[in-house]
Amino acid sequence: MAGDRSALVGLLLFVLVAAAPTVTFWLALQVVPRLVGAVADRRAKRRPPTPGPSLERVVADVRRLHREVRAGRATSRVRQVALLAAYDDALLTACTVVGVADPPLAGAAERDRAFARLLTEAALEEAGVALDPPRGGTRAA
């Protein structure tokens, strides 16, 4: 009887040693992604939402693009269209940041975009964004 018991114990130990890595690996594959997802969800809930671009950055972009559009130095039609598209996007972003409700450029047709661009620039000026600020190098007497 003592010999049967040691063979049975030996067989159980063999099965345990053979199956333990497989079961451990399977459990790790099931549990670890869920734990990582739960930690990531908890961190996402604690982190405040990232704000959009700062007002200073948006105004700097609008002013830079405004100077480029006014200079009219686009070397090709493609560059001119791309410059105007970038300027329109910057104007709409500035309107969103400043709080200009329903800017005229947002729903303008292609043939009316130039006029809508002027109206949007005027709306930004009324909101306090100076597109052509005075030069800093001049002094008042």
Q: What confidence score (pLDDT) does residue 60 get?
A: 93
pLDDT of residue 51: 74
Averaged pLDDT score across all residues of the chain: 86
* 91 — pLDDT class (breaks 50, 70, 90): very high
Dump pLDDT digits (tens) for 30-87: 998 898 888 888 887 777 766 778 889 999 999 999 999 988 887 899 999 999 999 9
Residue 24 CA to residue 135 CA, distance in Å, equals 70
Whole-number Å distance between alpha carbons of 93 and 100: 10
Q: Which of 9-13, 49-53, 67-71, 121-125 has the lowest mean pLDDT?
A: 49-53
DSSP line for 89-139: HHHHHHHHHHT-SS-TTTT--GGGHHHHHHHHHHHHHHTT--SSPPPTT--
72: left (phi over 0), alpha (psi -120 to 50) or beta: left
First CA to last CA across the chain, in angstroms?
115
Give the pLDDT of residue 136.
Answer: 63
Task: Indicate the pLDDT class of residue 123, thresholds 50, 70 and 90.
Answer: very high
